[in-house]
């Protein structure tokens, strides 16, 4: 199984489908590690080790991609931005963003953005079972609204078999999203890279692909998530 997965990784690599090839490299390496631990044949162990080293080198060489979203650009809805990395084996998602709250008029849409991100995860093709959110408390009177909204999202996700774990930190500053298949996405503006819609009935209010964006940078990184020998 490991050899077939790595063969597929090479084919995807040659076709310049680097994101998909990296996932296959990582899955294939994990399978070889399992096979190496299970065998008592020293010659096989040595061959597995050689292949693991070879394919680890290949996967390490293409782990970073940067996307530049220009001011007023469209076509960057969540599905378009994340779909390459939400493979079927994604079961957990970690979201770190200090501003999933709504105290100021300018940030009133942040909780809705998080809700729409969750809707994307529920639709698949990934099989997400747990979402971990780390954010900061809203300030002043907005905290009750924040907690009510997050609890409503949590309850709604439960109806789809998804658990939402919510934690708060007063010192969080970074914004990143991590998937359990090893992909990490860092967006300069977090989930809030869309401009405020002109009105409740303007094009782009519901469909984020049609919503103009604010300028930001997206860094996509494959983290070191293979099992250690």
| C-beta pairs of 47-53 under 8 Å, 24+ apart in sequence | 51/6, 52/229
Strand residues in the chain grouped as ranges (E): 64-69, 92-96, 130-135, 163-168, 176-179, 183-187, 216-222
Report mean pLDDT in 10-residue bins for the chain, 229 residues. Answer: 75 70 76 82 79 63 77 96 88 94 57 94 92 89 85 97 96 91 90 90 93 94 52
Output the pLDDT for position 19: 65
pLDDT at 54: 66
**Domains of the chain with bracketed CATH:** 1-60 (1.20.58.80), 63-222 (3.30.870.30)
| pTM attached to this predicted model | 0.72
């Amino acid at each position: 199984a490991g050899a077939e997965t790595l063969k597929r990784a090479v084919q995807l690599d040659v076709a310049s489908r680097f994101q998909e090839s990296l996932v296959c490299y990582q899955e294939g390496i994990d399978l070889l590690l399992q096979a190496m631990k299970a065998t008592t044949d020293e010659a096989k162990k040595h061959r597995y080790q050689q292949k693991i080293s070879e394919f680890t080198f290949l996967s390490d060489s293409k782990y970073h991609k940067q996307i530049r979203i220009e001011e007023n650009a469209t076509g960057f809805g969540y599905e378009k931005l994340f779909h390459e990395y939400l493979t079927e084996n994604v079961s957990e998602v970690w979201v770190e963003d200090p501003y999933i709250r709504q105290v100021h008029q300018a940030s009133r849409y942040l909780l809705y953005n998080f809700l729409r991100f969750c809707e994307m995860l529920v639709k698949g093709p990934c099989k997400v079972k747990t979402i971990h959110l780390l954010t900061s408390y809203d300030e002043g009177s907005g905290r009750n609204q924040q907690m009510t909204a997050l609890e409503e999202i949590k309850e709604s996700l439960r109806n789809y078999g998804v658990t939402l774990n919510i934690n708060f930190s007063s010192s969080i500053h970074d914004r990143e999203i991590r998937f359990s298949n090893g992909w990490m996405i860092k967006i300069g503006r977090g989930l809030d890279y869309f401009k405020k819609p002109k009105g409740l009935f303007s094009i782009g209010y519901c469909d984020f692909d049609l919503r103009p964006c604010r300028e930001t940078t997206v860094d996509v990184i494959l983290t070191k998530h293979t099992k250690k020998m």
